[in-house]
């Protein structure tokens, strides 16, 4: 096969100032292993850079989560605008007490999560760290338990969209859309809670193994960011789904 010599009309850079100050150094030579924190990953220069990158990475991920849920909120906005009375009527069947209880449960779990991060930040004994993490998990599980109760109730009252949906009020189509959105939004949220419980399990095990102290607690911090985000989603879901219209049943 024919070929051409590349760079024939490129004599190479001449009279060019060096691009870097340490051209010799960036060529490969024997690598010197300097002392560092055991958790430092080697592509980072130091722990500060690693912590910064990890936190920024979680925030960027949370932005994607905002947009992920955002599609559902946009759909909610469009359909509620289309039939406000229908949505209010459909919302009445949701149990505000359960919704409020769940809201409180999640807020408490955010508190325990924040205190779990703080316990790692202050090099608290591993038992303390694990206790706060476990408390967060118990509350998360309680939240899911309440959702299970609510979902079962919907099922028995024929409020699950599909062939078995049955609505006796004035706006059956709007009601079916409302409950489609209800299940999609709370279902997606619950899925995130379950994933959160998985993350917390891993964090709990790491804390039990004495891996976190004031020099290294990044995994707890970013798990906390995730957990708080899931809480924030519910902070909006609760009033938007449960508190429309001003009347509610027990």
Residue 216 sits at φ, ψ, to 5 deg, of: -150, 105
Q: Counting contacts by CB under 8 A, is residue 110 touching other proteins? A: yes
Residue 168's CB is within 10 A of a number of other CB atoms, namely 7
- Shortest reach from residue 114's CB to other proteins, in Å: 5
Residues across the chain: 250
List the one residue from 36, 39, 74, 210 that touches other proteins (CB under 8 A). Answer: 74
Q: Are 245 and 88 in contact (CB under 8 A)?
A: yes
Residues 6+ apart with CB under 8 A from 55: 218, 221, 222, 225
Q: Give whichever of 35 and 246 is closer to other proteins, judged by the CB atom.
A: 246
Tell the smallest beta-carbon distance from residue 156 to other proteins (Å).
18
Q: With CB under 8 A as the rule, give the number of residues binding other proteins.
A: 103
Side-chain half-sphere of 71: how many Cα atoms within 13 Å? 6
Q: Is 82 in the site for other proteins (CB under 8 A)?
A: yes
Smallest separation (angstroms) from other proteins to the CB of 208: 22
Exposure letters 63-77 (e unless 16+ CB within 10 A, then b): eeeeeebeebbeebe
To the nearest whole angstrom, how small is the minimum distance from the Cβ of residue 209 to other proteins? Answer: 20
Compute the least distance from the CB of residue 190 to other proteins, in Å: 14
- Whichever of 197 and 245 has its CB closer to other proteins, that residue is 245
Contacts to other proteins from residues 2-41, by CB under 8 A: 2-4, 6-7, 9-23, 25-29, 31
Q: Which stretch binds other proteins (CB under 8 A): 102-110, 136-144, 149-157, 198-206?
A: 102-110
List the interface residues with other proteins, window 154-183 (CB under 8 A): 161-163, 173-174, 176-177, 180-181, 183
The DSSP annotation for 185-235 comes to: HHHHHHHHHHHHHHHHHHHHHHHHTT--BTTB-HHHHHHHHHHHHHHHHHH
Residue selected from 36, 37, 63, 170 as contacting other proteins according to rule CB under 8 A: 63
159 CB-near residues (< 8 Å, 6+ apart): 93, 165, 167, 179
End-to-end CA distance of the chain: give it in Å, rounded. 83
When asked if residue 125 is in the footprint of other proteins (CB under 8 A), the reply is no
Question: 204-243: which residues touch other proteins (CB under 8 A)?
Answer: 214, 221, 224-225, 228-229, 231-232, 235-236, 238-240, 243
By CB under 8 A, tell whether 95 contacts other proteins.
no
């Amino acid at each position: 096969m024919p070929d051409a010599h590349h760079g024939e009309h490129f004599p190479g850079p001449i009279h060019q100032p060096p691009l870097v100050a340490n051209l010799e150094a960036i060529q490969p030579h024997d690598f010197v292993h300097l002392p560092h924190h055991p958790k430092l990953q080697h592509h980072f220069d130091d722990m500060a850079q690693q912590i910064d990158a990890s936190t920024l990475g979680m925030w960027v991920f949370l932005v994607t989560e905002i947009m992920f849920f955002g599609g559902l909120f946009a759909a909610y906005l469009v359909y509620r605008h289309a039939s406000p009375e229908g949505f209010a009527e459909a919302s009445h069947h949701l149990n505000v007490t359960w919704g409020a209880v769940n809201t409180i449960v999640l807020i408490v779990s955010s508190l325990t999560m924040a205190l779990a991060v703080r316990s790692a930040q202050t090099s608290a004994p591993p038992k303390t760290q694990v206790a706060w993490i476990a408390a967060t998990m118990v509350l998360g599980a309680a939240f899911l338990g309440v959702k299970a109760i609510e979902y079962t109730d919907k099922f028995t009252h024929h409020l699950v969209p599909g062939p078995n949906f049955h609505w006796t009020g004035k706006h059956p189509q709007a009601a079916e859309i409302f409950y489609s959105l209800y299940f999609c939004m709370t279902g997606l949220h619950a899925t995130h809670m379950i994933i959160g419980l998985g993350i917390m399990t891993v964090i709990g095990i790491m804390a039990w193994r004495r891996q976190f102290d004031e020099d290294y607690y990044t995994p707890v911090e970013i798990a906390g960011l995730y957990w708080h985000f899931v809480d924030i989603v519910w902070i909006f879901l609760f009033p938007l789904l449960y508190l429309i219209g001003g009347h509610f049943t027990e």
